[in-house]
Amino acid sequence: MSESHEKLLQQYLSDCQTAKSTADLEALRVKYLGKKGEVTELLKGLGKMAPEERKAVGAAINELKNRIQSSLEESMREVALSEQNEKLNAERPDHSLPGLYPGTGGLHPVVQVAREVADIFLSMGFFMAEGPEIEEEYYNFEALNVPSHHPARDMQDTFYLESGQVLRTQTSPVQIRTMEALKPPLKMIGLGKVFRKDSDITHSPMFNQMEGLVVGENISMADLKGTLVMFVENMFGKRPHRFRPSYFPFTEPSAEMDIQCIFCEGKGCKVCKSTGWMEVLGCGMVNPKVFDAVKYDTEKYTGFAFGMGIDRIAMLRYGINDIRLLFSSDIRFLRQF
């Protein structure tokens, strides 16, 4: 190799030291071996040489070319590999980064309260019964001793369907369907949606009720009280309660049960409208006319029934004053539960 070839090789080697990327190496390839590259130019110069000189010089240039070429190839392999590693490293997931919050959703406050209420009765040996939301007038009214002149049957209160059926206004028809299907003794609860033409801050055209019914021999008002006191103590804690006389067509006698306001402890506040009491449910001894409708022997069997608004219980429980919040699907409201 001549001195000038040696110089060119040294120049290439020092260029090669500073080449950091495959792009740099490609530029070197063009600079030395490309169409107008320095080595290529040397090869072009061969044509002007005398034949005997050409042989020796040609061999020397070819050796130079081969050395540069194999050096470039090796560098190319190394740099390409390290570039690939760098890329893989950059793409590696960082497991120490904080995770994204998975939107898991949650139970609606009414569902939570419904389950809590149901669990208390199920633990006392009640079973869960079901009935349709589109109900026959007979089950929703007649069989429950609600006569046709009763104001509850007014078009203004009840959603009547063209078929002559109604959207059930209460869960009490579940009592009738259950008694038609089963012989006493029985202890049932029924839970579900009910519908009334009513809408303001304490009324919604759709709301949720839970019904209860116990039938057997020697069932008395004492059983009613014992069961319902046990329920409210489980639900709201031990606190004063009272039964007020009331009226329902399907029970006789009838009562409403109040508990001491859980927000003011009876002192009087906005939630209890300054009465110190919160109404929790309606109840009573099953009217024998209801037993007649389902052909239960009124000489042998007695029973008690109760009904409560689940949404109302949820409102009392959480101190919510507008029932419409419960059905608004407002995520800012629902997140609080």
**Interacting residues toward ligand DAH by CB under 6 A:** 170, 172, 211, 248, 251, 282-284, 305-307
d(Cα 303, Cα 183) in Å, to the nearest integer? 13
Smallest gap from Cβ 199 to ligand DAH, in A, equals: 17
Residue number, 75 or 158, with CB nearest to ligand DAH: 158
Task: Tell me how many degrees the CA angle 317-112-271 measures, rounded to the nearest 5.
Answer: 15
Smallest gap from Cβ 287 to ligand DAH, in A, equals: 9
Residue with CB nearest ligand DAH? 307
Residue number, 109 or 284, with CB nearest to ligand DAH: 284
Smallest gap from Cβ 202 to ligand DAH, in A, equals: 14
d(Cα 215, Cα 87) in Å, to the nearest integer? 76
Residue number, 75 or 171, with CB nearest to ligand DAH: 171
Smallest gap from Cβ 188 to ligand DAH, in A, equals: 11
d(Cα 84, Cα 76) in Å, to the nearest integer? 12
Smallest gap from Cβ 142 to ligand DAH, in A, equals: 14
What distances in angstroms separate CA 260 from CA 192, 218, 311, 317, 327, one per listed residue?
27, 30, 19, 12, 27
- Half-sphere exposure at residue 8, Cβ-oriented, CA atoms within 13 angstroms: 22
Residue number, 136 or 211, with CB nearest to ligand DAH: 211
Q: Residue with structure tokens 């009935």?
A: 131
The gap between the terminal CA atoms of the chain, to the nearest Å, is 87
d(Cα 192, Cα 307) in Å, to the nearest integer? 11
Residue number, 61 or 129, with CB nearest to ligand DAH: 129
Residue number, 28 or 224, with CB nearest to ligand DAH: 224
Contact 294, 184 (CB under 8 A): no
- Report long-range pairs for 101-106 (Cβ below 8 Å, ≥24 apart): 106/334, 106/337
Computed over its alpha carbons, how large is the radius of gyration of the chain? Answer: 44
Smallest gap from Cβ 213 to ligand DAH, in A, equals: 7
51-91 and 3-18 are packed helices; what angle lies between their axes, rounded to 10 degrees? 10
d(Cα 268, Cα 82) in Å, to the nearest integer? 78
Smallest gap from Cβ 306 to ligand DAH, in A, equals: 5
Q: How many CB atoms lie within 10 A of CB 100?
A: 6
Residue number, 30 or 128, with CB nearest to ligand DAH: 128
Residue number, 109 or 307, with CB nearest to ligand DAH: 307
Contact 61, 69 (CB under 8 A): no
DSSP H or E stretch at residue 237: none
Smallest gap from Cβ 256 to ligand DAH, in A, equals: 8
